[in-house]
Structure 1
Amino acid sequence: MSKPVDLELKKAFLELQVKMIETSKKIHDIDTEKVALSRLLEQVQLNSLGMASVTEGTKTYEAVGRMFLKRDVEKLRKRFDDRKVELGVLIKDLADNKEYLEKNLKESEDNIREMVQLRKEQSEAKAN
């Protein structure tokens, strides 16, 4: 004889499955964005390293769209430093967001396990 399907449990499993799919997609997107920002940070660090050896009197230009603007060396160095800090903050925020999503997903899984265990205990109590 088959056991009747617990509709509440079935609904909870479906919701968890949808949540897992959405969360795994978000985590994948975060990982992809993190890799892209890390590469950009690497480029900025290399440019900053190159700018460190440039003397104060050297003509320097910054690419802006399809043109180049003459800039002071010190302004470019400051711009690279600011960009490094900005990218570091963005990468940290993405890591925090990913950690939150993973924690939230784990919590949902634990809730489902707890619900299954509770149903199992209730059915065993009824059988006795």
Structure 2
Amino acid sequence: MADEGTRTAYVELQGRMIESTGKLKQVQNQMRNKEVEKKRAYLTLEELHQLPDDTNTYKSVGKLFLLEPKSVLINEHELKLKDCETTIAALQTSKDYLEKQLTEVENNLKELLQQDPSIVRQILMSTPAC
């Protein structure tokens, strides 16, 4: 039978794996949202650049629309595009780190199970059936 230390190590590694997986999914969702925001800003910029300079442009503020010069809207969307790119780069760094952390935890779990295969039986026997 597996000793209590091995079982404790397994439970700890399993918790770290669940935590890392959750964080990774959260970062991936944030990246997807920023990609959508970036694409929206890019497409809006493309449309704004096609308009003549003297065109009336409106900015949506809640339920209101405010008349704004075309240049102001272009500057806002360019800034939003750059901000999204910066945020995506930072999130990519976090994603890479979390993926490495998850791989490390998986390797530690595999190593632990290879060292003491009896822990699998013990854990399966102590886990209540669903």
Residue 13 of structure 1: CA displacement? 1.0
Task: Tell me which residue corresponds to 1:80.
Answer: 77
Could you tell me how far 1:28 is from its partner in structure 2? 1.4
Partner Cα separation in structure 1 for residue 109 and residue 24 of structure 2 = 21
> Of residues 15, 24, 27 in structure 2, which corresponds to 1:27?
24
Counterpart in 1 of 2:125? none
% identical equivalent positions: 27
Cα-to-partner distance string for 1:70-115 (whole Å, 9 max, x where unaligned) = 1111111111110000011111111111111111222334445566
1:45 maps to 2:42: yes
Q: Equivalents in 2 of 1:45, 1:107: separation in Å?
A: 38
Give 3-state SS (helix, strand or coil) of 1:68's partner. Answer: strand
Give the greater-gyration-radius structure (CA).
1
Query: Bigger CA drift: 110-119 or 46-55?
Result: 110-119
Residue 9 of structure 1 and its aligned partner are, at CA, apart by 1.8
> Where do residues 103-114 of structure 1 align in structure 2 (5 Å cutoff)?
103-112=100-109
CA contact (8 A) 2:17 2:105 kept: no
Matches of 1:112 and 1:9 in 2, distance apart? Answer: 11
Structure-1-length-normalised TM-score? 0.79
Determine if the alignment matches structure 1 residue 102 to structure 2 residue 99.
yes
Mapped contact 1:9–1:116 kept (Cα < 8 A): no
| Cα RMSD, aligned residues only | 2.1
Q: Which residue number corresponds to residue 54 of structure 1?
A: 51
TM-score by length of 2: 0.78
Output one character per residue of 1:39-91: Cα deviation in whole Å (capped at 9) or x when no partner. Answer: 11111111000001111111111001111111111111111110000011111
Secondary structure of the structure 2 residue equivalent to 1:47 = helix
- Ranges of 4+ aligned residues in structure 1 off by more than 3 Å: 108-119
Aligned residue-pair number: 117
Q: Deviations over 1:22-52 (max 9, x none)?
A: 1111211221221122111111111000001
Partner of 2:6: 9
Cα separation, 1, equivalents of 2:32 and 2:112? 38
